[in-house]
Structure 1
Amino acid sequence: MAFLKNNVECARGKTIEEGNNIYSVLSEKNSTMKYSVNMDLVCCDCPIGKDGRLCKHQVAIAKFMDVSNRNIIPLNDPKQKQYLYYIAAGKEMDL
């Protein structure tokens, strides 16, 4: 997953909301190519994401557009953080 950390920054300013939880992300290697990402279906038309695997384009959308899917846990949501903490620790999280 190291490729995600190193390459997600490339999508800043290159992500476009198309509507209905579908986004376009411009390719970092080919400026005329863009990838279509459906966050509801958890897929991207890039070689990695086309079969539902997590790709850097999905991570970029989650990071810069504040959108999640079932591959990405929304850690900026306080209720979700509390819920995940309860699952992991077996007790309520102190706020």
Structure 2
Amino acid sequence: MDGPVDREEAVYLAKLAEQAERYDEMVAEMKKVAQMVHDQELSVEERNLLSVAYKNVIGARRASWRIISSIEQKEESKGNEENVKRIRKYREV
């Protein structure tokens, strides 16, 4: 049943996930909404929710990337090549 109820529920769950700062779940709910609309456009609210969801997921990834890069630089400056290799391997995951 891909009707208004399912769409409304997915939007509500996305808002709930946002309040709980569970942005991966927010993205999942908004993906459902985007797949439901087919030839329709997302509403302004739905577009904003989708934007917020991805912005926060990507923001967290960027912060993690910066931290890992910083640790890698520290290990390089200490000359600890073994840990540098570990970090680079970890970052590829």
Report which of the two structures shows the higher radius of gyration computed on alpha carbons. Answer: 2
Tell me which of the two structures has the higher relative contact order, counting C-alpha pairs closer than 8 angstroms and 6 or more residues apart. Answer: 2
Q: Identify the TM-score tier after normalising by the shorter chain.
A: under 0.3
| More helix per residue | 2
Return the TM-score normalized by structure 1: 0.25
